[in-house]
Amino acid sequence: MTERKDPDYISFTDAAALIVRRGLTGSMTPRGLRYMAHARSTNKDLPPEQRWPFGDKPGQEPYLPAGRTRMMRTETLLKYLEKYPPSGRGPAKGEQAPGSAV
């Protein structure tokens, strides 16, 4: 069986699936990854090296636009997430019945 090579650039949609497949997190949606990117780009309390590595600010690598899609360099994204893994509440638990224990 041939080893699957990661693409040079990746979208948020494909990146979410890749980081789960790589075991960097148990679950991730494209929306969750975009949220993390926004939160880590705008959080002024984070040290500069922990901020999201892509964008148009100093110290960030520019996104590669492909139509309406923003592409990220896959190697940069994986190195960043290995060093600063995703953290959060995880997937929604579903609707709870009124009065049920959580």
pTM listed for this prediction:
0.81
Residue 4 pLDDT grade (very low, low, confident, very high; cuts 50, 70, 90): confident
CA 18 and chain centroid, separation = 10
Please tell me the predicted confidence (pLDDT) of residue 92. Answer: 61
For 33-52, write each residue's pLDDT tens digit. Answer: 999 999 999 999 999 999 99
